[in-house]
Amino acid sequence: MQKDFVMKSFVMSEGERYCLLVDKHSGIPLYYPNLYLVTQIRNRSLSYSSMESSLGGILVLLKFLTGRGQDLINRFSQYDFFEFNELDAIRDYCQNKFSARTIAQDTNRVFTLEELQWSDEKVSSKTEYVRLTVISQYLKWLAELLTSQSRNKDVTLRINKMIKGLASRRPIRVGRNAGS
């Protein structure tokens, strides 16, 4: 059975805007992506758009993994980290342009992974950079969390190698004053 995830946006009673990733069929929040969102994004007082952007990057990663039938939690728990060819595949996947209704257009303020269908178009290098940065940060956090009980120097080196490998695949950023 293909997993289907949705990003739910809502406003808390105090007026704070918030978003979560949930399983579309059960409505249950996804544990690790939402834990990451709370501990690494929201608690650092980053904006709602930062939370939304982070979940968007994580959604792209989840869609990539679901399409390949991979379970990231089991994989990292077994100290099986991404190899360079897999990092290339993640990078290539992050270049795809996905079409989806925007939150403003979606009266339910929800979109599913099924609604994200890539086209032949590619995203801008800025969007690709942001996606790969978010995914890199999430993977580092998750790998360290899942291996914290028995992590040794070799595991730490392998995690760092994976993260540096993914970060090195980001497009070169052009400064805003350096041209178009």
- Taking only the tens place, the pLDDT of each residue in 98-111 is 755 444 444 444 54
Q: What is the pLDDT of residue 110?
A: 52
- Taking only the tens place, the pLDDT of each residue in 54-82 is 999 999 999 999 989 999 999 999 999 99
Is the Cα dihedral 3, 5, 100, 176 positive or negative?
A: negative
> What are the φ/ψ torsions at residue 96 (nearest 5 degrees)?
-70, 140
Beta bridge partners of 29: 22
- Taking only the tens place, the pLDDT of each residue in 113-157 is 444 444 467 889 999 999 999 999 999 999 999 998 877 899 999
Q: Compute the average pLDDT of residues 163-172.
A: 94
CA distance 136 to 165: 9
Q: Provide the mean pLDDT of the chain.
A: 84
Q: For residue 169, which of 139, 138, 125 has the smallest C-alpha distance?
A: 125
At 164, list the tokens: 């540096």
Q: State which H helix or E strand residue 71 sits in.
A: none
Half-sphere exposure of 46 (CA within 13 A, CB side): 14
Q: What is the pLDDT of residue 6?
A: 85
Q: What is the pLDDT of residue 49?
A: 85
Q: What is the pLDDT of residue 180?
A: 47
